[in-house]
């Protein structure tokens, strides 16, 4: 039995999911997921790790289908509800999924694929009561394929086993004191580890309630918060920025009500992208909470976190989570001395099994002695890790210097007329790379020469941008991460 599913038997009468103004108990989740599992088996004894893709909006049906695939012995492949058909087709073709479960609102999108005879399409609305027994699932079986964000190349399918998923969940539920009394609002994409593991699976492991938001807006989120049921929240920096903007534009009466509700929360988390210090500070003024920053990847779930109890340092990601080993290594995969920056490398039961059908890519991402190479550069600063950037896109190599794009972005965001920014390295024959900055402004009257003078007091000359462009918003993926390769193209073109 899958431990996550087994745990649900301890909470049968408790509310597991709230979505579309309805509440569903753990007993309903177990019953519905069993019916789906039996329908997927269709007389077979075990799906034997066959990939099953599903395109379903976040909510009770999403969770029941995910669990149903697992309980039938299949590999769950959640598809992104915001992706165009070409991106969805890429995942279907790459996984070679022969079964796709979809909800009615995606029928028109998927219709061009219906003619493919090798794929079975099942409507999520047509599952009925079934009778039969389910297979025993081994913890080492492949359970899920999630795709990397593709910010540095074609997305790769990250395969995790049930044992990997359990390790990812328990490191968080232990470190963040989850309990059955918790109630979390899930506003995150459900094809990503942040929404699936950190929010949904941690809640269900603990006997807590996971509530799904129908349509995102600041008003909708704060209305739910003001019911005083939700006590845990996790989001990406972009969402916190939008909530702050809504708060600043609403009435003083609403502001007081929102602040009163937020102060009752147990804790709040930010992740999936670097949290600007300005956002952290503004959110603390509104809510009374210092956002907990953590660090993770699709390939490992979470690995490092600021403490649940203890000081959360702005610009830092904290210490290793339970049962996770961390080291910083140089370009030869040798551990660096304290105070020296290096690549974050990770070991632990949370680490993924493989990239789907990519044995060479899998081999290349591990050292000879089994450390997973994240590609992220960090330094240990007074006992807390600080991210300096991603090796390939956030570390700019200019004139012999290795420069952190994130450091420059943080300085630029502190300028009163700059709402947001993205910094990249632009190929240059003389310097190797020069620094380019894309600015999202809070004003139409902006003096770039005055900015350059202002920067001289904040940064050494070799860290100052040489080229600027202005945008209404930065190019982002669905998790709110700035797609640096797209940004680079704008400068090059």
Is the confidence at residue 69, as pLDDT, over 80?
A: yes
What is the model's pLDDT at position 238? 81
What is the model's pLDDT at position 458? 85
Q: Residue 430 — very low, low, confident or very high, per pLDDT cuts 50/70/90?
A: low
DSSP bridge partners of 347: 325
Residue range 257-277: mean pLDDT, rounded: 92
Q: pLDDT tens-digit profile of 337-392?
A: 988 999 999 999 999 999 999 999 999 999 999 999 999 999 999 899 998 877 66
Q: pLDDT tens-digit profile of 51-68?
A: 999 999 999 999 999 999
What does the radius of gyration of the chain's CA atoms come to, in whole angstroms?
Answer: 23
What is the model's pLDDT at position 471? 95
With residues binned 3-state (H G I as helix, E B as strand, rest as coil), the percentages for the chain, rounded to 5, are 35, 25, 40
CA 10/CA 404 separation, integer angstroms: 48
Q: Residue 155 — very low, low, confident or very high, per pLDDT cuts 50/70/90?
A: confident
Residue range 86-105: mean pLDDT, rounded: 95
Between the CA of residue 139 and those of 8, 36, 95, 294, what are the distances in Å? 17, 21, 21, 27
Instruction: Judge contact between 180 and 206, C-beta under 8 A.
Output: yes
Q: Which of 24-28, 242-246, 485-489 has the highest mean pLDDT?
A: 24-28
Q: Residue 407 — very low, low, confident or very high, per pLDDT cuts 50/70/90?
A: confident
What is the share, in percent, of the chain residues with pLDDT greater than 90? Answer: 81
Is the confidence at residue 262, as pLDDT, over 80?
A: yes
Q: Residue 86 — very low, low, confident or very high, per pLDDT cuts 50/70/90?
A: confident
Give the domain ranges of the chain.
395-492
Q: Residue 443 — very low, low, confident or very high, per pLDDT cuts 50/70/90?
A: confident
What is the model's pLDDT at position 119? 96
Between the CA of residue 328 and those of 303, 335, 344, 346, what are the distances in Å? 13, 6, 5, 9
What is the model's pLDDT at position 1? 73
Is the confidence at residue 400, as pLDDT, over 70?
A: no
Between the CA of residue 176 and those of 146, 172, 299, 451, 487, what are the distances in Å? 24, 6, 21, 42, 36
Report the 3 state secondary structure along 274-342: CCCHHHHHHHHHHHCCCCEEEEEECCCEEEEECCCCCCCCCCCCEEECCCCEEEEECCCCCECCCCCCE
What is the model's pLDDT at position 388? 84
Q: pLDDT tens-digit profile of 182-208?
A: 999 999 999 999 999 999 999 999 999
Structural class in CATH, domain 395-492: alpha beta
Q: Residue 150 — very low, low, confident or very high, per pLDDT cuts 50/70/90?
A: low
Is the confidence at residue 429, as pLDDT, over 80?
A: no
Give the lowest-confidence range in 125-129, 260-264, 481-485.
Answer: 481-485
Give the lowest-confidence range in 67-71, 161-165, 408-412, 434-438.
Answer: 408-412
Instruction: Judge contact between 431 and 442, C-beta under 8 A.
Output: no
Instruction: Judge contact between 91 and 113, C-beta under 8 A.
Output: no
Is the confidence at residue 153, as pLDDT, over 60?
A: no
Is the confidence at residue 393, as pLDDT, over 80?
A: no
Structure tokens at 319: 């210490």
């Amino acid at each position: 039995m899958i431990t996550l599913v087994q745990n649900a038997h301890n909470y049968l009468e408790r509310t597991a999911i709230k979505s579309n103004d309805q509440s569903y108990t753990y007993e309903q989740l177990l019953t519905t997921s069993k019916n789906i599992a039996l329908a997927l088996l269709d007389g077979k004894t075990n799906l034997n790790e066959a990939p099953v893709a599903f395109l379903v909006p976040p909510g009770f049906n999403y969770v029941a289908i995910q669990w149903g695939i697992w309980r039938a012995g299949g590999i769950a492949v959640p598809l992104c509800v915001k992706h165009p058909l070409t991106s969805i087709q890429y995942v279907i073709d790459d996984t070679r999924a022969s079964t796709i479960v979809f909800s009615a609102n995606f029928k028109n999108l998927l219709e061009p694929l219906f003619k493919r005879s090798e794929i079975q399409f099942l409507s999520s609305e047509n599952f009925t009561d079934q009778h039969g027994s389910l297979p025993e699932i081994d913890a080492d079986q492949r359970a899920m394929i999630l795709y990397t964000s593709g910010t540095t190349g074609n997305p790769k399918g990250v395969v995790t086993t049930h044992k990997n998923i359990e390790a990812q969940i328990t490191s968080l539920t232990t470190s963040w004191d989850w309990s059955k009394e918790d109630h979390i609002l899930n506003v995150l994409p459900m094809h990503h580890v942040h929404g699936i593991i950190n929010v949904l699976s941690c809640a269900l492991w603990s006997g807590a309630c996971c509530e799904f938001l129908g349509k995102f807006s600041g008003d909708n989120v704060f209305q739910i918060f003001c019911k005083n049921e939700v006590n845990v929240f996790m989001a990406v920096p972009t969402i916190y920025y939008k909530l702050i903007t809504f708060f600043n534009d609403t009435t003083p009466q609403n502001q007081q009500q929102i602040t009163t509700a937020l102060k009752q929360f147990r804790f709040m988390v930010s992740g999936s992208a670097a949290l600007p210090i300005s956002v952290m500070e503004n959110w603390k003024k509104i809510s009374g909470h210092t956002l907990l920053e953590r660090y993770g990847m699709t390939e490992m779930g979470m690995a490092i976190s600021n403490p649940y109890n203890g000081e959360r340092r702005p610009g830092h990601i904290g210490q290793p989570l339970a049962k996770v080993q961390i080291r910083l290594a140089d370009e030869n995969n040798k551990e660096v001395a304290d105070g020296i920056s290096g690549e974050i490398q990770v070991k632990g039961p949370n680490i993924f099994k493989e990239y789907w059908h990519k044995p060479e890519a899998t081999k290349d991402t591990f050292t000879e002695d089994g450390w997973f190479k994240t590609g992220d550069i960090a330094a240990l600063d007074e006992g807390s890790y600080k991210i300096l950037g991603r090796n390939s896109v956030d570390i700019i190599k200019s004139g012999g210097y290795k420069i952190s794009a994130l450091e420059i972005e943080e300085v630029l965001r502190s300028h009163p007329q700059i709402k947001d920014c993205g910094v990249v390295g632009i190929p240059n024959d003389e310097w190797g790379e020069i620094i380019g900055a894309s600015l999202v402004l809070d004003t139409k009257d902006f003096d770039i020469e005055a900015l350059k003078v202002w920067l001289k007091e904040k940064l050494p000359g070799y860290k100052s941008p040489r080229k600027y462009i202005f945008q209404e918003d930065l190019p982002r993926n669905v998790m709110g991460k700035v797609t640096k390769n797209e940004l680079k193209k704008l400068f090059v073109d």
